Amino acid sequence: MAKCYASILETIGNTPVVRINRLAPPGVNLYVKIEAFDPLASVKDRLAIAVIEAGEKDGTLKPGQTVVEATSGNTGIGLAMVCAAKGYPLVLTMAEPFSVERRKLMRFLGAKVIVTPAAERAVGMVKKMEELAAKHGWFMTRQFENEANPDYHSRTTAREILEDFAGEPLDYWVTGYGTGGTLKGVARVLRKESPKTRIIVCEPTDAPLLGSKIEQPRKPDGTPAAPHPSFKPHPMQGWTPDFIPKLTGDAVDAQAMDRLLHVAGPDAIRCSKDLAAKEGIFVGITSGATFAGALKIAAEAHKGANILAMLPDTGERYLSTPLFADVPADMTEEELKISRSTPGGQLKA
């Protein structure tokens, strides 16, 4: 055996960079970093261990203290894994529209999930988290403001990318923003150590928060004071909440973005399906959205350009969403025809 791990937490990170072969336009080198290879299948596993271990280190998280966070799903699932491994009780607040399988996964991992009204969106679930923490003395991980989030990406994700492209120019790095942790943490390292890399940030066409140039109202602690006026519902769960997170705002203020792209929901869904059917890469709608942005860059990039897109999570988080709306559970007519081509194993009509 090459290596035995002391716990599941040691398997976070070191996710693979994979070349795109059938979907990439000719003349460019298009790669994806597949965060579904993290133990709970999303990039938020990195965030989860970062904020918990930071709280342990500075003493703000006490032994046995309940942890509370607001989540669209992936952060909650990552936190549920980390808290299960370390022995912390976990309570998560989650707005009603997010996929049911995410709630079930968090509960399966031992967390309590408090569902908040759909009309209150992400800001509402954050407010509920703050109420619960104040009432019960629980530890808030504060994923949207906690500097441990981007710091971990600077130490791990960014270093992995630089190592994977050692000796090769990385011309474009394409990402969404979500909490802003990946963007802020990786971008500042690329700016310093790979200054020729152009950083491309994507957001939904229906929720152009950064593109609007409208400032996000914030409380003194950086949390959102109100939803952003440019937000409209979109299918990319967790890719863009209904506010600009402080960490994302920090990255924008630091000029960590060379170009902003807008991606429509149908394009994100199509690209997720294409990655599965034509590359064998099973990822969610947010990954499809980032990949759609990368394809736009690839279409105009110079010959021989190296492009890397972040793929945040697995497709299994989206079984109850529009991504699988046209995937039948029963056999199709074509499948029935194949079945009937031989006499055995026939289902009763």
Can you give the pLDDT at residue 243?
93
Is 232 labeled as catalytic in the residue annotation?
no
Span 140-194, pLDDT tens digits: 999 999 999 999 999 999 999 999 999 999 999 999 999 999 999 999 999 999 9
Kindly state the average pLDDT of the residues 63-88.
Answer: 96
Can you give the pLDDT at residue 189?
98
Can you give the pLDDT at residue 290?
98
Distance, in Å, from the CA atom of 163 to the CA atom of 14, rounded to the nearest integer, reads 10
- Answer for the pair 79, 58: CB distance below 8 angstroms, yes or no: no
pLDDT band at 77 (very low <50, low <70, confident <90, very high): very high
Can you give the pLDDT at residue 245?
95
In the predicted model, what is the mean pLDDT of the chain? 96
Distance, in Å, from the CA atom of 246 to the CA atom of 9, rounded to the nearest integer, reads 27
Active-site residue among 3, 33, 44, 192? Answer: 44
Span 272-327, pLDDT tens digits: 999 999 999 999 999 999 999 999 999 999 999 999 999 999 999 999 999 999 99
How many CB atoms within 10 Å of residue 250?
18
Kindly state the average pLDDT of the residues 30-39.
Answer: 98
Span 53-74, pLDDT tens digits: 999 999 999 999 999 999 988 9
Residue 1 has pLDDT above 70, yes or no: no
Kindly state the average pLDDT of the residues 101-110.
Answer: 95
Span 182-239, pLDDT tens digits: 999 999 999 999 999 999 999 999 999 999 999 999 999 999 999 999 999 898 887 8
Distance, in Å, from the CA atom of 274 to the CA atom of 212, rounded to the nearest integer, reads 30
Distance, in Å, from the CA atom of 307 to the CA atom of 94, rounded to the nearest integer, reads 34
Beta carbons within 8 Å of 154's beta carbon, 6+ residues apart: 185, 186, 188, 189
